[in-house]
Amino acid sequence: MGARINIVLPEDTLRVIDGLAPRGQRSRFIQRAVEHYVAAASPEAMRERLAAAALRDRDLDLEIARDWSAVGREQWQPEAARKRKSKPASQSGAKSTLRRSTRR
């Protein structure tokens, strides 16, 4: 048997409850909502959710490490250096370091 209590709820909350609970089932609805909240917010439930997430994501750190190691292997260069490398020497405007014979 249950105990009768008086509680005060905001009118909006009461309208939501009345819209979801069948007529005469308001107490049962509130009881189930409280039980659900307690089960979901309990330390045991939190531990279970954390354990499930740890199992689900156990390989995530390895995937991230593999992705970033590939980035680390790439040769990062300033944009100007990349442009110089991609142009043939004759088009780059660079002078040869070989001695040229000059006519005098």
Contact 39, 45 (CB under 8 A): yes
42-88 confidence digits (pLDDT tens):
888 889 989 999 888 888 888 888 888 777 666 565 666 556 666 55
Q: Which two tokens stand for residue 10?
A: 């905001």
User: What's the pTM value of the predicted model, to 2 decimals?
Assistant: 0.45
Task: Return the biggest CA–CA distance within the chain.
Answer: 118
pLDDT in tens, 20-36: 999 899 999 999 999 99
Q: Mean pLDDT over residues 8-18, rounded? A: 94
Which pLDDT score is estimated for 86?
61
Q: Judge whether residue 93 has pLDDT over 80.
A: no
Residue-by-residue DSSP string for 26-89:
HHHHHHHHHHHHHHHHSHHHHHHHHHHHHHHTTTHHHHHHHHHHHHHHS----HHHHHHHHS-H
Q: Are 30 and 17 in contact, with CB atoms under 8 Å apart?
A: yes
